[in-house]
A and B are shown apart, each in its own frame.
Chain A
Amino acid sequence: MNPVLKIEKLTKSFGGLTAVNGFALELAEHEIHGIIGPNGAGKTTVFNLITGVYRPDSGHILLEEKEIANLPPDVISRSGIARTFQNIRLFSQMSVLDNIKVALHQRSNYRLWDVILGLKRFRSQEKVIAKESLEYLEYFGLTNRHNEVAGSLSYGEQRRLEIARALATHPKVLLLDEPAAGMNPREVEDLISFIRKIHHDFGLAILIIEHQMPVIMDLCTHVQVVDFGQTIAAGDPETVTNDPLVIRAYLGEEEVEEHEASGN
């Protein structure tokens, strides 16, 4: 089967620092794929390269076999990649409902004239958009909050709204950047079943960056470990987390020795 998202030899440097070095990835349709690695390993940079926030120095990013590297972010988004952010980026002064409506903007086909003159096409389309947005909110359990400003939601609700907003753009690939950051074990449990649910219901391919190992272990079929911009291990979660290189990257040299000593 052809991968939905295929990345080859992706490289990006900032000044003297090579943040991402020869990164490669193949994400099959309907697969959940994890990226782990210590802080500053270049994981979020990979997301920023895929979504066009940064331009790669070299390499290829293929979405359904079409090159998207070097395209502007809005074009990449429209071709089917959506993401959430490590530090939530909602439109905090807008209502919860309007946050979803923004994501649905490609759905409307009214013209500027329809709006300026307040024509029927504009009004009926607006109703359709409002209805569809409310459906998203209902699915995400945010219906009773639809009129509040997004900034007033609780942390967990903001995370959910951000995912809802990303899904409202109808992506083929969803990138989740540390969705479980700052959550306690129970909230993480909820998040895992929630991601599983949207994965099933929306039929997406998902790429997750996460530090909370339960998320990776429970959801991902394939994990890639990144350190200093390079992939140091890849495979199924079990194998990867037992890889000595990975343990070393996470714990540091000395502690690995201690770890091994105590193990023996």
Chain B
Amino acid sequence: MKQHQTTKPMSLITKLRTATPSWSILAIAFLALSGVLELLGDMDYLNQYYLHILIIVGMNIILVASLNLVNGYLGEFALGHAGFMAVGAYTAAVIATKIGPPGLPTLIIALIGSTLAAALIGYLVGLITFKTVGDYLAIITLGFNMIIVNAIQNIDYLGGPRGFIGIPKATNLFIVAICVVLTYTVLRNLVYSDHGRRWISIRENAIAAELMGIDINRAKNMAFTIAAAFAGLAGGLWAQYQQFITPKSFDYIKTTDLLVMLYLGGTGSLSGSILGVVFYTVLMEVLRNVLSMIDPRLAELRMLISPLILVVVMLTKQSGLMGNREWRWFSPRKEENTDESCS
């Protein structure tokens, strides 16, 4: 009897539940969906407001997932992510307005430029920062964020405190979606490679990691540089979407927002970052609408309710919604491969 049961083919439901579509199919489906939404938006079938929320969600996914590299996988508490975003945004603004004619090639060059510029700054900050750990690192990165914002405020070429105006609009939902897929694929590859394992091992036990022959400073700086690069990419997208950027929008309050989404979704989980961003952003918008429907004066109450939800999540589930776990669809299939090889 028992033998008969084990040889029985899997039921359809189990098959569906354990089936994992390949990553490229998921990515293409996601891109197609966002392309369709973008077209619907262009043809005025879809409210621009929804398109706007989706674009914000996409940019925040890039920011939070890359922040996760440092604060989640590496286990440090960095507080300067918005600073790197600022570097990217201003680089893109300069490239898009002063150098090329509006259009796709300029957009691509601007995005590459903002990514590289932020990576360079990230590398330099990392060199200084990783002589310290813990609280000191948090303070240094926070200080760096302030330095960037203050520096931009004092550069007239970049518009100073008034902001940088007249950036051509080039970012749309489809472009953001491409960047999200790109970011997510790269981060996922990294996290499941030697690099990712080095970062996690440093988080778990730095001394043991070092005694495994891992060059801790080099590994940390790599995580920091890559995280900064993607923050720069998001900044580049942001600048060419908003068309107008001010230094203020990249101060520590922006960093705090990102941290809230990261810890809500759960550190050490890339699908957690997606969940955190979607949950938080959608929640804020729903609260805004529902509250102002009741009474317009209540709209600002969401600023009270959403932190409260974060407090509740942290008290009841400290690791966040997804801490250190992944949705099966979003993690590589190598675990299944190893299962086969040992059975």
Contacts and interface: CB of A to CB of B under 8 A. Distances in A.
Contact of B204 (A91, A118, A134, A146): A91
B209 interface: yes
A122 to B, nearest CB: 7
Contacts of A115: 189-190, 193-195
Q: Is the interface of B mostly helix, strand, loop or mixed?
A: helix
Contact of A143 (B186, B194, B324, B342): B342
A97 interface: yes
B215 A74 contact: yes
A116 interface: yes
A112 B216 CA distance: 16
B337 A105 contact: no
B208 A101 contact: no
Given A93-B324, A134-B341, A102 B215 contact: no
A146 B338 contact: yes
A89 B210 contact: no
Interface residues of B, number: 35
A79 to B, nearest CB: 9
A129 to B, nearest CB: 8
Contact of B342 (A75, A78, A94, A134): A134
A105 B211 contact: no
Interface string A99-118: 00111011010101001111
A219 to B, nearest CB: 23
Interface in B176-216: 185-186, 189-190, 192-195, 197-198, 200-201, 203-205, 207-216
A90 interface: yes
B334 interface: yes
A222 interface: no
B211 A53 contact: yes
A117 B182 CA distance: 10
Contacts of B192: 126
B210 A73 contact: yes
Nearest to B197: A102
B135 interface: no
A23 interface: no
Interface of A: 51, 53, 72-75, 77-78, 82-83, 85, 89-94, 97-98, 101-103, 105-106, 108, 110, 112, 115-118, 122, 126-127, 129-131, 134, 138, 143, 146-147, 165, 169
18 contacts: A73-B207, A74-B212, A74-B215, A90-B208, A91-B200, A94-B201, A102-B198, A102-B214, A106-B213, A116-B189, A118-B189, A122-B193, A130-B334, A130-B337, A130-B338, A147-B338, A165-B212, A169-B213
Given A115-B190, A130-B341, A146-B342, 11 more contacts: A74-B212, A74-B216, A91-B204, A98-B200, A101-B197, A105-B213, A106-B213, A108-B194, A115-B193, A116-B189, A147-B339
Interface of B: 185-186, 189-190, 192-195, 197-198, 200-201, 203-205, 207-216, 222, 268, 324, 334-335, 337-339, 341-342
